[in-house]
Amino acid sequence: MRLGRLYTITKTFLNYGLDQLVPAKWLPWSVRIGRYGLFWLPNKHTDKAAGERLRLALESLGPVWIKFGQMLSTRRDLLPADIANELAKLQDRVKPFPGAQAQALIEQALEIQSIDELFSDFDQTPLASASIAQVHTARLRHGDDAGQDIVIKVIRPDIRKAIDADLELMETLAQVLAKHLPDGRRLKPREVVKEYRKTLLDELDLLREAANAMQLKRNFDNSPLLYIPKVYTEYGRLSVMVMERIDGIPVSDVAALHALNVNMEKLAERGVEVFFTQVFRDSFFHADMHPGNIFVSRHNPQDPSYLGIDFGIVGTLNREDKRYLAENFLAFFNRDYRKVAELHVDSGWVPAHINIEEFESAIRTVCEPIFNKPLAEISFGHVLVNLFNTARRFEMEVQPQLVLLQKTLLYVEGLGRTLYPQLDLWKTAKPFLERWMQEQLGWRAVLRSVKENAPYWAEKLPEMPTLLYDYLHGQKQLATFQREAMQQLLAQQQQLKLRVVYSIGAAAFIISATLLWNAAQPLWLVASAAVGALLCVFLSNKRG
């Protein structure tokens, strides 16, 4: 089966001319000979551009490869713009599997004889079908929320086998590319596949997704910005998740939003605020915010709020990365390119030996032209590509912890462009970041630190008298030791000083005796000088 799948993938790659994306001179002779040997598998799509051929090939290989193409489309730091743009067209909808099979999988996971035991009005026609799972509608039959409209998400059958087989082949291909491509170190094909493996396997665990949803819901509890549907954990399983069904307008349906008289400017600004709130306030952000996962509430269109779904991919940032990012954004918004360059070095993203002045100049060249323009006239994705290309000149490697953040920011840009093209992304984001930095560095930060550490301090408080006594006792012993050591050092210095004096005296007497002897002076005078030398040596040794 594995060999058969390998043949299918190879055939697909060659039929779409993907081998032509890698210059022949980069490939070892064995690979080139192998390609010529497969002459009956020619490129059948010579009329299409490289990016389109790659997209079509991934689509034909199925859900695992479609998902891989979607991830690659966000890696504009690794791919040319035309290919990344083409891969961005990959949709998260694939051919559904039979509804009766989905029902059987749900019954098996929940260990029930019939789905009617727990749910009513189960619809075998899927509401949505994606590469990993599909969604069906129903109603709750029991509990406080009986009659509540819900959606049941179920993982595709046998998807794990297909994923494992394809991932193994991907890793083999990545090893070949890393070894033979001249730019293999920068492109990091093995790291890309490893990242994809983790993302994909995380999405197979619906218990993890349910936990992510509950965390996001708690973070935005009673917030006018974002609503996360309720998760019914009592029905949660590794392959099944049950959630409240939301009633919203797809954020991409701009005509419907205008028909409802939604305040588009406020909606776009709130999209930016949602992103920065998740990243800088919570350090926990929805990292798959493409239009298929974001809806707009029908209630109160002049004060609109978002509805979010699909929480299989989330991102987190540690405190240091978050602080450096905030400072970078603020320096960027203030056009302080020197500060941007220094922060890259301070954070370790760029080596310390690079020339700061040259790096600052390169950043200014990329960033300065985009200011004071509405979002419709700039592409943040294009700016990112130029920044990545610039950073590579200064030995900056891709930061894995920032990849999901970059991807999410690209989604936010696309969202803002769709809703309100005149949105000034910089003007909207800057006040939020300034307020956040003040909270991190001002008196609010002190109060928050006290609040966060209060339980730990309360736990240690009974031990404080003992710890204080041990500290003071230790300080007393240390002071005694230091005083004795100092006295001993002074005594040793005094002895050394005397030995030096006696040694000088002995040397003087020896020299004097020698000179007197050579000058044929009386013997008693020479003997006196010799005795003086011996006396100085004796006293020096005695002092030592």
Give catalytic residue positions: 288
- Nearest to residue 277, comparing CAs of 219, 201, 357, 208? 219
What is the spatial distance between Cα 212 and Cα 207, in angstroms, rounded to a whole number? 9
Decide: 139 and 115 in contact? Cβ < 8 Å.
no
Phi/psi at 392 (5° precision): -65, -35
Do β-strands 133-140 and 119-120 pair in parallel, antiparallel, or remain unpaired?
A: antiparallel
Do β-strands 306-308 and 226-227 pair in parallel, antiparallel, or remain unpaired?
A: parallel
Strand partners, 226: 306
Do β-strands 294-297 and 284-286 pair in parallel, antiparallel, or remain unpaired?
A: unpaired
What is the spatial distance between Cα 497 and Cα 491, in angstroms, rounded to a whole number? 10
- Nearest to residue 271, comparing CAs of 141, 410, 169? 410
Dihedral (CA of 166, 167, 171, 174) sign = positive
- Nearest to residue 306, comparing CAs of 240, 251, 377? 251
- Nearest to residue 75, comparing CAs of 499, 391, 405, 521? 405
Phi/psi at 103 (5° precision): -60, -45
Q: In 220-355, which ranges are continuous DSSP H helix?
A: 254-259, 264-276, 319-333, 337-346
Q: Which residues of 76-95 are buried (b: 16+ CB within 10 A; e: fewer)?
A: bbbbeeebbebbbebebebe
Task: Identify the H or E element spanning 492.
Answer: helix 464-518
Residue partners of 132: CB distance under 8 A and separation at least 6:
63, 67, 155, 156, 159, 200, 203, 204, 312
Strand order in the sheet with 226-227: 226-227, 306-308, 294-297, 248-250
